[in-house]
Amino acid sequence: MRVACIGECMVELSERADGSLVRGFGGDTLNTALYLARLGVAVDYVTALGDDVWSDEMAAAWAREGIGLRQVRRLPGRMPGLYIIRTDPAGERSFHYWRERAAARDLFAGPGAAGTRAALAAYDLVYVSGISLSLYGAGGRAALAETLAALRARGGRIAFDTNYRPRGWPDRDEARAAFRAALAMADLIFASVEDLDWLFGAAGEAEVMRHRGRAEIVLKVSGGPGPVARVLHGADETAVPAGPVARVVDTTAAGDSFAAGYLAARLAGRAPEAAAAAAHRLAGAVIGHRGAVIPKAAMPDLALRAPASDA
């Protein structure tokens, strides 16, 4: 099974309580790729980097995590984007971006783009997010859509996460059109009520539910005693609540790790409900630590390598 995650990794500056900054690297689909690799999935990251020292450090870090680099294009004279995370006392975070000239924005443009598209169309599963869509502009999104259509024509599958950041889009109408096109193409949809409300208002859930039966849908609902994943597979629907979490330190990468846990479990043959439970466990571990990437020793044992009895 050849899996690819498409998107952008940026230089990350995390602001501490005393105002100091700690540098790292991060990006939503990169976080998902990292946790997929840790869970034993062979995954490549598909992006563009510059020829600077930070790009070198990123690529080296991904290789240490077992992420494949064969689809990482290096663009001379370019650099990654940058963002700062501020986290409030409750663990909620806000993001502030500087990314207009980031190399990843030209993944589907210029020399080498045709090779990237041809390689991408050969994967068995491709994971892309709403943030990924915001990178490329109308021309890049059209090239991506053509590539994913070629992938589906040969039997590949697409997973789409609705991860929506308003500041990444010139206007909401453009975002809505891009999301509707992605939802219509996806075989597996990760959506949150929060994202859908921000983008579509009261009609958000209906935008996703029109694909019920055609696509596998995981709709995350917050509130109450804890988050719940509504899992819709064929004609079946099951609500899978998250287990208790001892302490929420930082919600960064909660959704990214959830997607990784779910995908890894499904690829290991687990039923959708069991996959959602595994995804909750991983996300619960991630939010108990500061930052997007938790220590390897803190990874929960999801037992995905054991013979599946619930597929």
- Cα–Cα distance measured from residue 28 to residue 129, given in angstroms and rounded to the nearest whole number: 8
- Cα–Cα distance measured from residue 23 to residue 209, given in angstroms and rounded to the nearest whole number: 40
- Cα–Cα distance measured from residue 206 to residue 287, given in angstroms and rounded to the nearest whole number: 29
Strand partners, 12: 24, 83
Question: From the candidates 28, 256, 301, 310, which is the catalytic residue?
Answer: 256
CB 132 within 8 A of CB 6: yes
- Cα–Cα distance measured from residue 207 to residue 180, given in angstroms and rounded to the nearest whole number: 8
- Cα–Cα distance measured from residue 244 to residue 263, given in angstroms and rounded to the nearest whole number: 22
- Cα–Cα distance measured from residue 230 to residue 191, given in angstroms and rounded to the nearest whole number: 10
- Cα–Cα distance measured from residue 304 to residue 292, given in angstroms and rounded to the nearest whole number: 22
**Which residue pairs, CB below 8 angstroms and at least 24 apart, start in 84-92?**
84/12, 84/13, 84/14, 84/15, 84/21, 85/12, 85/13, 85/14, 85/15, 85/252, 86/15, 87/14, 87/15, 87/250, 87/252, 87/290, 90/248, 91/248, 91/249, 91/250, 91/251, 91/287, 92/251
- Cα–Cα distance measured from residue 212 to residue 168, given in angstroms and rounded to the nearest whole number: 28
CB 43 within 8 A of CB 126: no
Strand partners, 6: 46
- Tell me if residue 256 is catalytic: yes
Distance (Å) of CA 101 to CA 10, 47, 81: 12, 14, 7
Write out the catalytic residue numbers.
Answer: 256
